[in-house]
Amino acid sequence: MIKGIKDKFKYQSGVKFLKQELAKDPPVVEREKGITSIGCIVDLDKFDDANLFYDFVEDYNMRPNAVKIIGYKGHYDKNSPYSTPVFSDKDLGWNGKIENSYALEFLSREYDLLVNYYTEENLLIQLMSIKTRARFRVGFKGVDQVYNDLILDCPLNDFDTFKTELKKYLGVLNEI
């Protein structure tokens, strides 16, 4: 019973932190134009093949380690092997802190492009998105526009269309 109440208060403090961060101006990331590093936040409950994001390495002629992926699972077993680093709802701490070593390592880097690959709003995914330092952000139509600079309207499961549209718009914006 106590654990449930504690989790509810953690969730409420996370929502409060998120609202405060969204009210502020987004931090400016001083990086040159061009895509040399990509971070991907993927909802693995809705899209399970996160390894497709490594195709960006070939598409944008980047270094092999230039793409970093982290996945969200509503519930996951710490003993089960995942090919992608994973965080979940149980990694939420007080005041919007994320208590997961994979997530903290992901957040410690700066990216030229952040791909928010999810269509439903979720507190933990939104906290990851808002805390990630990225010069340019891309996401989907179903999510609040505050999180993304470029919003694509295509199905979540159609990765080829997403990849094609992203490349087209990055070309228009002189990013590639």
The mean per-residue pLDDT over the stretch 41-63 comes to 89
The mean per-residue pLDDT over the stretch 66-83 comes to 81
Higher pLDDT, 30 or 117: 117
Q: Please give the model's pTM, rounded to 2 decimal places.
A: 0.90
In this predicted structure, the answer to whether residue 15 has a pLDDT above a threshold of 60 is: yes
Q: What is the pLDDT of residue 17?
A: 87
Confidence of residue 60 (pLDDT cuts 50, 70, 90): confident
In this predicted structure, the answer to whether residue 28 has a pLDDT above a threshold of 90 is: no
Confidence of residue 2 (pLDDT cuts 50, 70, 90): low
Separation between Cα atoms, residue 88 and residue 98, nearest integer Å: 9
> Which of 94-98, 116-120, 140-144, 168-172 is least confident?
140-144
Average pLDDT taken over every residue of the chain:
86
Q: What is the pLDDT of residue 164?
A: 92
Closest CA to 44 of 65, 67, 64, 69: 69
pLDDT digits (tens, 9 = 90+) for 136-170: 999 998 787 787 889 998 998 999 999 999 999 98
In this predicted structure, the answer to whether residue 173 has a pLDDT above a threshold of 90 is: no
In this predicted structure, the answer to whether residue 1 has a pLDDT above a threshold of 60 is: no
Encode burial over 83-121: b for 16+ CB neighbours within 10 A, e otherwise.
ebbbbbbebbeeebbbebebbeebbeeebbbbbbbbeee
CB–CB of 107/98 below 8 Å? yes
CATH class of 2-172: alpha beta
> Within 13 Å, how many C-alpha atoms sit on residue 117's CB side?
31
Q: What is the pLDDT of residue 160?
A: 92
CA torsion 115→119→122→126, rounded to 10°? 30
In this predicted structure, the answer to whether residue 10 has a pLDDT above a threshold of 90 is: no
